[in-house]
Structure 1
Amino acid sequence: MYGFIWRHLPGPTAARAVLALVLLLAFVALLLFVVFPWVEPRLPFNDVTIDQ
């Protein structure tokens, strides 16, 4: 998978490394700001069943 991405990035090695880092940061930002906030209310971590 990573080899496929690396082969399809344009430019010399330094430019590929910078572009790969930018793609990684964009992916992490997508997860943090879109995916995780959408999933969080659907997770059962706040459903406690301890009675007093």
Structure 2
Amino acid sequence: MYGALWRVLPGPWWVRVLILLLLAAAVLYALVTWVFPWVDTIVNVQEATVEE
């Protein structure tokens, strides 16, 4: 999968690395902005119990 992604990206290796870093940053931004808050509304942390 990573090899196919590497071959699809245009430019020399340093441009590909830059594109991949920007894509990773965009995915992390989307996770922190939309996905994690949405999951937080579904999962109720208050109901977790730990037995001694």
With structure 2 as the length reference, what TM-score do the two structures score?
Answer: 0.80
Return the offset for 1:24. 0.5
Q: Which runs of 5+ in 2 are unaligned?
A: none
Give the count of matched residue pairs: 49
**Alignment of 1:19 onto 2:31:** no
**1:37 — aligned with what?**
37
State the shift of 1:46 in Å: 1.6
**Greater RCO, 1 or 2 (C-alpha within 8 Å, sep 6+):** 1
- Identity across the alignment (%): 41
What root-mean-square deviation, in Å, do the aligned CA atoms of Structure 1 and Structure 2 show? 1.5
Residue segments in structure 1 that go unaligned for 5+ positions in a row: none
- Structure 2 distance, partners of 1:39, 1:48, is 15
Letter in 2 for 1:39: V
